[in-house]
Copies of this chain bind each other. A is one copy, B any other.
Amino acid sequence: MAITLNQSDAGFEERFATFLTTKREASPDVDSAVAAIIADVRARGDEALVGHTQKFDGADLRSLGIAVSKADIAKAYGEADAETIEALKFARERIRSHHQRQRPADDRYTDTAGVELGSLWTAVEAVGLYVPGGTASYPSSVLMNAIPAVVAGVERIVMVVPAPGGAINPLVLVAADLAGVSEIYRVGGAQAVAALAYGTESIRPVAKIVGPGNAYVAAAKRQVFGTVGIDMIAGPSEVLVVADADNDPDWIAADLLAQAEHDAAAQSILITDDPALASAVEGAVMRQLKSLPRAETAAASWRDFGAIILVETLDSAIPLINRIAAEHLELTIKDADAFLPHIRNAGAVFLGRHTPEVIGDYVGGSNHVLPTARSARFSSGLSVLDFMKRTSILKLGPEQLRALAPAAIALARAEGLEAHGRSVAIRLNI
């Protein structure tokens, strides 16, 4: 049973505020263990990768090789189901086509003072992509992380993926190949992050590392940040479904459970103005749970973090929706388009009754790497911009320098920076 919050109850605001700040994940303190692994990889390179991989993944890189070979990839195609390969290709084309629209345009112009200004975009030269092993080794995530980098123009996309017991999910290798990943190494954990940041004999360093991982991977990314760039640290997934009375409770329940099956720390929330729908959805969740292979995970998520919020009107839900700032927001209501301009904070919005969030996970075309844990208040999903950077340009001639000099010199002197003033004045003999 998820909790129910009723907007018309006294004490709602306090309960809602508590709900908002509930932590869903323990953060085990692995910082010192991770620091030791990173130091070891910096000191011993490949030898350290071999040692840690033997210990954590039970895989012998001396015989398997650190690098995944072309033959390994060919073998993976042989092992993968043909229908799934076709589905990956279908997804790839849709993701690529959407992300191509995100390429930023350079801007170079001359202003009324004759000063030339500009913003020029360039791709990051080399990017590392972390892919988890085991059950969370998702080929769709490989597409979602690699394709924006390819579209940005990144030359080297370096994937690392642990091979527990020596095995890598063949679909992950196929997805990497289809997406355009340039190099793949069978290492994981903090040791893989260290190798990407500092390099070893086998793995040349990259400039930025993206992709999800466990607590060790997240801590390692935090520790190497500065030496390389990192993406956001992803938390457990979440969905907020906003539904009016005119909905099939089974559809809503299916959407809530799709999120809940990811992880016991995932969160599914329903906001509705119809108490009858709320009860019907609760019943449908319980019924559908019974036939789910991942029933245990989904049940734990729904029990511990699921919520049904009853509101008086959908309009009165708007401030709640913006405070929740959900990773995924479904608007399964009469006129979703008219409601949309009120949405201020959300990673992705799914409009109408025929846009289940799952479409966005795989084949919608937009990215499924989205801000979690209310971070949609200040950050965005993964995009081509995450793999590019902007250089600003200034160009003055003598006339422009003369025009701008007095203000620049005045500000430099006001800030006590005499050498700043001189670097302008010396060019004008003033």
CB of A393 within 8 A of CB of B349, answer yes
Q: Does A389 contact B (CB under 8 A)?
A: yes
For A344, list chain B residues within 8 Å (CB). Answer: 122, 125
| Distance of A338 from chain B, by nearest CB (Å) | 13
The chain B residue with its CB closest to the CB of A343 is: B391
**CB <8 Å contact, B257 and A419:** yes
* A interface residues, tally (CB under 8 Å): 121
Write the chain B residue with the least CB distance to A368: B392
Mark out the residues of chain A between 314 and 358 whose CB falls within 8 Å of any chain B CB in the assembled complex.
Answer: 336-337, 340, 343-358
Q: A125-B344, A411-B139 are in contact. Are A416 and B294 (CB under 8 A)?
A: yes
* B115, A365: Cβ atoms closer than 8 Å: yes
Would you call A91 an interface residue if the criterion is a C-beta within 8 Å of the partner chain's C-beta atoms? yes
Assess the A359–B408 pair: CB atoms within 8 A. yes
Say whether A358 contacts B122, CB under 8 Å. no
A402-418 vs B, CB cutoff 8 Å, 1 = contact: the mask equals 00101110111011111
Contact B364 A117 (CB under 8 A): yes
Contact B424 A356 (CB under 8 A): yes
Chain A 376-401 interface mask (CB, 8 Å, partner B; 1/0) = 11111101010001111111111011
Instruction: Note all chain B residues with C-beta closer than 8 A to A229.
Output: 375, 377-379
Near B by CB (< 8 A), chain A positions 161-219 give 171, 207-208
- Residues 204-243 of A contacting B (Cβ, < 8 Å): 207-208, 226, 228-229, 233
Main secondary structure of the interface of A (DSSP, over half): mixed
Q: Nearest Cβ distance between residue A279 and chain B, in whole angstroms? A: 19
Q: Is A57 interfacial (CB-CB < 8 Å)?
A: no
Task: Check A260 for interface membership: any CB of B closer than 8 A.
Answer: yes
> Taking the nearest CB of chain B, how far is it from the CB of A14, in angstroms?
15
Residue from B81, B86, B254 in contact with A423 in the complex, judged by beta carbons closer than 8 Å: B254
Segment at the B interface, from A43-51, A58-66, A95-103, A269-277:
A95-103
User: Chain B residues near A288 (CB, 8 Å)?
Assistant: 419, 422
Question: Chain B: which residue is nearest A109 at the CB level?
Answer: B101
CB distance from A394 to the nearest CB of B (A): 5
Q: Check A254 against B84 for contact (C-beta < 8 Å).
A: no
Q: Which residues of B contact A298 (CB under 8 A)?
A: 419
Q: How far is the CA of A380 from the CA of B393 in the complex (A)?
A: 12
Residue in contact with A398 in the complex, picked from B88, B343, B354, CB distance below 8 Å: B354
Asked if A381 contacts B376 (CB within 8 A), the reply is no
Flag if A355 contacts B419 (CB, 8 Å).
no
Q: Whole-angstrom distance from the CB of A90 to the nearest CB of chain B?
A: 4
Shortest A164–chain B CB gap in Å is 16
Tell me the bound Cα distance from A288 to B116 in angstroms.
30
Q: Does A87 contact B (CB under 8 A)?
A: yes
Nearest Cβ in chain B — how far from A157, in angstroms?
A: 14
- Do residues B424 and A359 form an inter-chain contact, with CB atoms below 8 A? yes
Is there a chain B Cβ closer than 8 Å to A70's Cβ?
no
Kindly list chain B residues whose C-beta atoms are within 8 Å of the C-beta of A282.
none
Q: Which of chain B's residues have a CB closer than 8 A to the CB of A394?
A: 348-351, 355, 359-360, 364-366
What chain B residues lie within 8 Å of A12 (beta carbons)? none
Closest 10 CB pairs of A and B: A229-B378, A351-B395, A87-B410, A87-B407, A366-B392, A254-B423, A380-B390, A90-B407, A207-B377, A261-B419
> What are 22 A-B pairs with beta-carbon distances under 8 A?
A91-B407, A102-B119, A117-B365, A117-B366, A124-B378, A125-B377, A140-B411, A207-B377, A208-B378, A255-B423, A345-B389, A347-B392, A348-B392, A352-B395, A355-B395, A355-B401, A357-B423, A359-B404, A362-B407, A364-B394, A364-B396, A367-B392
New A-B pairs, 14, CB < 8 Å, besides A229-B379, A364-B404, A385-B385: A84-B414, A86-B410, A87-B408, A98-B111, A101-B109, A102-B119, A288-B422, A298-B419, A348-B393, A351-B393, A352-B397, A358-B420, A359-B408, A363-B408
